[in-house]
Amino acid sequence: MTQEEKKIINDAIRDIPDFPKPGIIFKDITTLLNDKDAYGVLMNHLAKRYKSYDLDFIAGIDARGFIFGAALAQMLGCGFVPIRKKGKLPYTTISEKYSLEYGFDEVEIHIDAFRDIKNAKVLLIDDLIATGGTANAAASLINKTGAKCEEACFILGLNFLDGQDKLKKQTKVYTLIGID
């Protein structure tokens, strides 16, 4: 990706200070999604990168990972699998807990999410990686079903947290734009 393309994507993402609580700068991707040119630059880049991976599925993290993941799955001609917050999936699930600053959260996947494809090759995608708790739990879930998380992809990564380094212990990590 050229620096110019990276700038188009970065400029289309809006910073919302103190949301959802004081001290957090929320990276708002709705202004990227409603900008057809910037959204197109991003999706074309991802499709080009992952064309050669021969993926079977894209797994998206609830909820913003669904937007990029489902679009990319169609561009690459593979299936899409949602990884959801606890209690949202209707069929039998397996789940994984992860720690938050206070307490814990839990993500789930359908037990048959990757159909009957042996060692399915899966790309995990979300909009942003911060502490890496959600993505680590999601990658573990993919691998627990018998599929293989080939790589985890993020539009944005918070470099001042160690989320990306922690995740690299279980899968490859690709972050388009690092935030220092």
User: Per the residue annotation, which of 4, 64, 106, 150 is the catalytic one?
Assistant: 64
64 is catalytic: yes
The one among 84, 133, 139, 155 contacting ligand AMP by CB under 6 A: 133
DSSP string spanning 24-71? -EEEETHHHHT-HHHHHHHHHHHHHHHGGG--SEEEEETTHHHHHHHH
120 binds ligand AMP (CB under 6 A): no
126 binds ligand AMP (CB under 6 A): yes
The answer to whether residues 12 and 155 touch, using CB atoms and an 8 Å cutoff, is: no
151 binds ligand AMP (CB under 6 A): no
The closest alpha carbon to 10, from 143, 157, 146, belongs to 157
The token pair at 177 is 């734009």
* Least CB distance to ligand AMP at residue 57 (A): 19
Q: Which residues pair with 173 in a beta bridge?
A: 152
The one among 14, 24, 88, 162 contacting ligand AMP by CB under 6 A: 24
84 is catalytic: no
Site for ligand AMP in 71-100 (CB under 6 A): none
The one among 41, 122, 129, 149 contacting ligand AMP by CB under 6 A: 129
The one among 13, 27, 60, 122 contacting ligand AMP by CB under 6 A: 27
d(CA 146, CA 155) in angstroms, rounded, equals 26
Site for ligand AMP in 35-74 (CB under 6 A): 61, 64
d(CA 94, CA 142) in angstroms, rounded, equals 10
Interface contacts to ligand AMP, rule CB under 6 A = 24-27, 61, 64, 126-135, 163
